[in-house]
């Protein structure tokens, strides 16, 4: 028989034809159609998930815009506060310069006041020593002439006037000094209070800005997560589309095989009719022959031998050409370095087969006959291949990740043991290995169909 690549469906159907009408194929057209319906239903659920995620992203985007507006307003307020603070500090610097100038003036005034105080104290001492009174009469009577008398009167008037002026100036200087001190202290206190208020406002704005920055970072992180989820949904949708195409290819192959089997049955039926006609003619010919009863009796054992040989040949031909044991071909050589289940606080959805320091290329092969549904590069899985299979009327999907190289394309029909690529270290990987997953049904990112691959190995 000429070899040709066929799916498990086709092979089992051929086996059924060889065994006779009592043999039923592992699955039939309704099975594939049901699987197509399941994939399409999952696609519908994905659309709903995508719409919800997009809605959440829209709301989140609105919240981010509101936060950004609030943050812009706070930053503007912070800039205004900083500007006011700068102006206040400049004003405070001017006041401090004025204070230095005033302090110099105050020092001069204090020196002048001290001098006047000294003079006043001397005058007070003189008055005390004279009994508290100045005898202007003695001064006048001591004059030697009228001109001297006039001069003495003028001098006494000048001294009295000077004393009074000196006293008035002393009092005025003291008042002015006190007023300037109060003015400087009051102005300095006002400016320092304003500065303290602005600094407190600035600190409050900084705290608010930090809080908004933190909230904004959280929302952006959530947005990235939603974007990643949406990306996974879109990727899953693409994967489901390819799986749908693979199932349609399986259905088409099944229909073609059914058409071929139908033609084969029709051909066999025609041959059987021709053979029956020939046997009928031969029987008629034998009836006309003259033969003895002894010769007829002698021919019976020979006919029995022929029947036995024919039965043996039929039994030999009835052996099925393909067996559906359900066992996988091992996807790669090497030891299993990580099993299915919880790992590092999270679920590991498959098994890892390591390269274990081996040199050279390690082939990755398909575990069953099937159709390649997807080949692509992902940041997490690196180069990966997804293959759709049929076994005992059920759909299985296998995933091969972190490949160094991919040797197949979507839509390719592959046989069990056929090379899909080479073991690698692409994507998020800690070393060269194969990450292998099995899904009873179509692949999805929720891993709702994932099972332990060791169940089939």
* pLDDT tens sequence across 274-289: 888 888 888 777 777 7
pLDDT of res. 307: 44
- Residue 104: beta bridge partners? none
Exposure string of 104-120, with b = 16+ CB inside 10 Å and e = fewer, is eebeebeeebeebeeee
pLDDT at 296: 54
Which residue ranges in the chain fall short of pLDDT 50?
1-27, 132-134, 301-326
What's the pLDDT score for residue 79?
Answer: 79
The pLDDT of residue 310:
42
Listed in sequence order, the residues at least 6 apart from 62 whose beta carbon sits closer than 8 Å to its beta carbon are none
Percent residues over pLDDT 70 in the chain: 72
CB 143 within 8 A of CB 149: yes
Q: What is the pLDDT of residue 128?
A: 55
pTM, two decimals, is 0.44
CATH topology of domain 336-455: Glucose Permease (Domain IIA) (2.70.70)
Bridge partners for 351 per DSSP: 436
Tokens of 385: 């291949």
pLDDT of the residue at 342: 93
- Return the residue matching tokens 């002026």: 165
């Amino acid at each position: 028989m000429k070899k040709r690549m066929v799916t498990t469906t086709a092979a089992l159907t051929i086996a059924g034809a060889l065994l006779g009408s009592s043999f039923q194929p592992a699955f039939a057209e309704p099975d594939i159609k049901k699987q197509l319906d399941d994939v399409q239903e999952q696609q519908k659920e994905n659309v709903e998930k995508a719409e919800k995620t997009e809605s959440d992203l829209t709301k989140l985007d609105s919240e981010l815009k509101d936060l950004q507006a609030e943050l812009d307003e706070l930053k503007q307020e912070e800039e205004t506060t900083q500007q006011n603070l700068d102006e206040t500090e400049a004003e405070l610097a001017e006041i401090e310069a004025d204070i230095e100038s005033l302090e110099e003036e105050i020092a001069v005034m204090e020196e002048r006041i001290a001098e006047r105080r000294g003079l006043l104290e001397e005058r007070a001492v003189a008055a005390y020593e004279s009994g508290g009174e100045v005898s202007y009469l003695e001064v006048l009577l001591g004059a030697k002439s009228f001109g001297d008398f006039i001069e003495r009167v003028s001098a006494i008037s000048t001294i009295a006037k000077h004393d009074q002026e000196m006293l008035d100036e002393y009092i005025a200087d003291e008042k002015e000094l006190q007023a300037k001190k109060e003015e400087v202290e009051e102005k300095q206190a006002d400016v320092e209070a304003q500065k303290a208020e602005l600094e407190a406002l600035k600190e409050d704005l900084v705290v608010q800005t930090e809080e908004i920055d933190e909230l904004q970072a959280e929302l952006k992180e959530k947005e990235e997560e939603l974007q990643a989820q949406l990306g996974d949904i879109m990727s899953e949708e693409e994967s489901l589309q390819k799986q749908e195409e693979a199932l349609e290819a399986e259905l088409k192959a099944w229909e073609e095989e059914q058409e071929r089997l139908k033609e084969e049955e029709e051909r066999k039926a025609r041959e059987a009719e021709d053979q029956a006609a020939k046997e009928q003619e031969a029987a008629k010919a034998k009836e006309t022959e003259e033969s003895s009863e002894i010769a007829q009796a002698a021919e019976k054992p020979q006919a029995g031998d022929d029947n036995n040989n024919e039965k043996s040949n039929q039994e030999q031909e009835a052996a099925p050409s393909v067996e559906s044991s359900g066992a996988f071909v091992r996807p790669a050589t090497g030891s299993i370095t990580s099993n299915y289940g919880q790992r590092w606080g999270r679920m590991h959805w498959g098994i890892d087969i390591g390269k274990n320091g081996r040199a050279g290329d390690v082939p990755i092969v398909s575990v069953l006959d099937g159709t390649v549904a997807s080949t692509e590069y992902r940041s997490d899985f690196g180069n990966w291949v997804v293959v759709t299979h049929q076994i005992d009327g059920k759909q299985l999907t296998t995933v091969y990740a972190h490949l160094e190289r991919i040797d197949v394309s979507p839509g390719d029909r592959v046989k069990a043991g056929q090379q899909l690529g080479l073991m690698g270290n692409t994507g998020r990987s800690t070393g060269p290995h194969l990450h292998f997953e099995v899904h009873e049904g179509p692949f999805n990112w929720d891993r709702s169909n994932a099972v332990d691959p060791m169940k089939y190995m």
